[in-house]
Structure 1
Amino acid sequence: MTMDLTQKAAALRQALNYHGYLYHVLDAPQISDAEYDALLNELRRLEADHPELQAADSPTQRLGGWVADRFVKVRHPQPMLSLSNAFNPGELRAWRERTLRLLSPEVGQTLSYVVEPKIDGLTVVLHYDNGRFVLGATRGDGTEGEDITANLRTVRGLPLTIPLTGKQPAPARLVVRGEAYVNVADFQRFNEQSAAQEGRTYANPRNFAAGALRQLDSAISAQRPLRLWAYQVVVLEGAAPLSTQWDALTFLRDLGFPVISLGEHIRLFDDFEPLVDYVVAWEDQRQALPYETDGLVIKINQVALHEELGFVGKEPRWATAYKYPAHEVITRLLDIQVNVGRTGSINPFAVLEPAAVGGVMVRNATLHNADYVAELDLRIGDRVIIKRAGEVIPQVLRSLPELRDGSERVWTMPEKCPVCGEAIQRTAGEAAYHCVNSACPAQLVRGIEHFVSRGAMDIEGFGIRQAELFVQLGFITDLADIYYLHERRAELLGREGFGEKKVSNLLSAIEASKERPFSRLLNALGIHGVGAVGAETIASHFGGIEALLTATADDLSQISGVGPVLAASVVDWFSHAPNRRTIERLRAAGVRLAADAPALVGPQTFAGMTFVITGTLEGLSRDEAKALIEAQGGKVTDSMSKKTNYLLLGTNPGSKAAKAAGLGVPTISLDDLLRLLHA
């Protein structure tokens, strides 16, 4: 091993850690995503070629991959205390009076206070030796926690090595207390994606964050949008002592830790009454914060007084939490009913005795899925506690079984869809139940919208407004009716907004779609779990509808990329009589139900082409898009250059879009990619 390679790896790690800090902590990146990715890929190659260069503080370790058998107990260097609570200005003043009685009058007159948001997350304790992150633990019982070091390494805002800013030297030993949390917007986006892809959702950001950090497989933690903020120096050795809490927060910020903005969300007060006024007024401001919080923490600023004041029980005397009225109330669970989502998912919801929560009258609340109802042991007639999750979505938190009188009833998921009466199913390994009848009125409009979309049958001039109208008029009762709309030509011409040209164009587009590849039809049917890539794979294997109609789950499972869950979903869809009737009506209408003949061995569609992917692709993960491109001979890279043929652009793209424009690289959508594939 040459010193040059060692120095190069160290320089790359230092640069990546610093730019990660600028991006994830300060939200002020100095380089593009492509430039960051290029540095990261260079370090990955270097570590792969020379494993002895790998280091615990390397940014390449952010992706996780360590699997723990169990969590080892860790004893904290100091007790991780909880806080006393104050619920009104009187109780807050009483806390101050109690502390003043324990201090001399002279000291009491010089007190200052730091006020910090109380973020609703999971307390973590972080250990650093000579600037390197070596251990991370949960709070546990306050004396002992669990070692979750591998999972914490995946949190992008956590510095793996300090300092990152050059403003402070690294202390010999540092132990920091902080909070791992998930922003409300990130949580909602993750829940939407999880509901669409896995049929499950999570209850609230706090539980989601805690669960993410207690995964045995750190690769799962790495996929969660976890954030961190540091707020207390627990142990400091090899550095000048810190005299105030404000100094401690500044010290942490200067080392590169995420610290909520000093002077804005964290405030310093020399006088107590202005502090009380601020705390009372802040209740309205917290609604605009990106994270969930139930109050503020007030701390005496002078650190020397913390030890002098000590603690009572498990609560420090030098700090307290001002808690706002919880947007939680008790009401009665009158019934549990289900609704049918746009993809056929059957989800329970609570019918409640109306109750005001946070100024809003709540009559219904989410129950997520059947497992959630069972885990909480919710029974019809129970007294339950409800909350507006993220101050928006009402949800049932728990029941109060001690208030039961014996009249309560256990709920079970219905066996049939409440809308169409077809049997519902639950795929193994998934939380959600589904109605697999594609003609179910509850999902028909959204099913049509997907069927006619560009990634499916691509019927121009046919969108959700037309779908809603045709279902409302009774023109479409299942997907096959789209191809019989020509029989309604006279009725269409008689409606406002449907002139001769518009109707002709629409019917022509429908007719043209009959020749779309069989894989596009398979995707368009809306079979649970079958997207563009899965449809391509299945269509190529079976060649047409005839073989697929008689295929077993074992037959499907033999296909690379088709697991047992997807195989069962496909077989179940084709086993339902309404779905088979739809297929037969599509056949009678002349829709193509067979795949192209296998291509001769030779150049593939994307042979010699290089793609870069950025943003979120609708209905397709990046890995699936990459697999699709590579299956056609293309290459997918992380870095942009003039040699890149296309940038595949999804929603919420990063800086790669601007980079592509600067280099003259054409951008395409997923629909464009599929059109290229079938050109």
Structure 2
Amino acid sequence: MTDAEAHELPDLTLDEARAQAQSLTEQILEARDAYYGRDTLIVDDATYDEWMHRLEAIERLHPELQGQDSPTLTVGAAESSLFAPVEHAERMLSLDNVFSDEEFLAWAARVERDAGRPVHYLCELKIDGLALSLRYEHGRLTSAATRGDGRVGEDVTDNVRRIRGIPHVLEGEGHPDLVEVRGEVFFTVADFESLNAYQEAMGDRLFANPRNAASGSLRQKTEGKNERQLQAVHERLSRLRLTVHGIGAWPNPPVATQSEVYGLLRSWGLPTSPYFRVAESAQGADDFIRHYGEHRHAVEHEIDGIVVKVDELALHDELGATSRAPRWAIAYKYPPEQVNTKLLDIVVSVGRTGRATPFAVMEPARVAGSVVRQATLHNQDVVKAKGVLIGDTVVLRKAGDVIPEVLGPVVELRDGTEREFVMPELCPECGSRLAPAKEGDIDLRCPNARSCPAQVRGRVEHIGSRGALDIEGLGEVSAAALTQPVRPETPPLVTEAGLFDLRAQDLFGIDVVVRDAETGLPRLLDDGTPDTRSPFRRQRKAPLPGREATASRPDPRHDPDGPFDGDDDFILSAVATELLANLEAAKTKELWRFLVALNIRHVGPVAARALAQWFGSVSAIRAASRDDLASVEGVGGIIADSLLDWFEVDWHREIVERWEAAGARLATPGHPGPGASVAEGGVLEGITVVATGSLEGFSREGAQEAIIKAGGKAASSVSKKTDFVAAGPGAGSKLAKAEELGVRIIDAAQFRILVEQGPSALDALAPDAG
């Protein structure tokens, strides 16, 4: 956060701060969802860190805005429905970042000040891969899980058992009863290139970079795949590698330093990095950082920085951790790489909110481990400020080694053929006239929100995202197929109102050009042609005479069986069948998820949960007055106005009506009405509880739902009206507020008793238990 931003914060009203916090929370959660859930990187590290710093500053100024699920208190992503959940025996934290020598040395100075003495620093390469936790019991691998939200991850044990170099049984003797080993799964550069060659030979899509390939490969399901698909899955898994870099749960490790931990792990047959070094001072660690900054391509895998840890394990407990990251470790992120390439054109893409964004289309350039063809230019003012002309040679970098960015032109290479970019007056997708949303806005938007294909596609993809209805199979390709197909001419979905009305016959014969998740532009293959697919390929029940049965058609436009005409001999592919089944299952998802899925401005997961808890149904929210909406804790005037404006639009109301008619449950079963508890007469009737931090046995949503189910009020901030604060690791400012106000504080075990048996059960406990 800049000094200017810090000075601006005190001038924010509470409603302005709430709106900013809500907007930042949505952006951060969307970026996390894309990164952890869809293996897509939509924002660079620096921007993400700015969002986090701004949100932290707002929450320090207004602690009441820090909801239980604030990104400042959490890591990773929400639970996934793709794999079974696995609870880590010990929290799996993230790392805070620094981006300069000055920032790193300032962090080291704080560490040594808090430790009260000089320390040793273990320095190691920051592998650009996927975090993994291995659980060994009595020396045997019993489970493997992704980071998830730090407390609960995804069970990927079956896939991990196929990765070479990961022992199923540890070598040596004297293994602890339970130990969690943490590491990073990755592809070497050579294996990544080999994998892409294999993908190309098999006719499958190429991966953009090793990190996405590693995440996508580990998080594959094998159910329902044919023999060729299984072969591809196993091929990708066999090429993965793991480097272990730490421990999670391990009672009383028989070593004193992190470097000794690595020696012990290596003796057990676990793969450790050969590149780490213990420095005797912060300056020595900084020398290590500088060395690999100059030789980052001298190792066999991609790195995006250096991780520095205090080597002495005893100091780890002394220095402690925030709710997200340890204070005894830091990640130094290297600056992005840059290259020169040709700016072929500037085209405009329209996103989910109608914003028209210019994108640079360039000659393919390999930068930071991947081939780049497109990069955002944000708006017409940014194009002018950068001074780029179509036809220029431009400097391209990948910010945070993730997001492509055009820095500017190489003016001395101009030859006079370059031309200026002119922002179009009409939407490139639907022909509507572009205009600012309000006077003074720099961005231009397409006003045809209802039926602009690009906006509908973005909203449909959002509906399927983890933060909304979490519908497996409703991602970028299927969303584009349903809203912007090459054929048929009329898409299955003109608006999202028809989503839950989709039938099998609506999915036959669809061809689509895959759109880039960030730009919305057609994704290009290496030969420059659009990536065209038929995601819902039909299959024949039985072969025609003299013709072998095929599971799918490689190109339905040249289908030898002719166009689909309703013939009963055809059945849906597994992908289409699964999508329809998942849409049906989504009809009974929690109310707050539907509220997020409706794409109402400012209504993200935080506000949606508050609204769902208070009102209990979409119809009750629709009938509420502005004062009723604004008075709900965690909502306020800005979101109240947004809700009222949304329901004023006729096609918005049509979405609600058609979803309900199709069987979507837009109400919480048993909720007695606005302001009442779900379980009237329950053991917590009239009781207000704040759950904060990580409560063992409860997810963030699970803790709130347990309170509501017991008839209580699940509040998001602590006040004099709060009866109990259930606090776990990472409780932060809410715990301090409870202590200041004298509110009764309970732990996870007591919280379970409270929601199951009520306050009297806690009162009956021995004094030392309460």
Same fold (TM over 0.5): no
How would you bin the TM-score normalised by the shorter chain?
Answer: 0.3 to 0.5
TM-score (norm 2): 0.38
TM-score (norm 1): 0.43
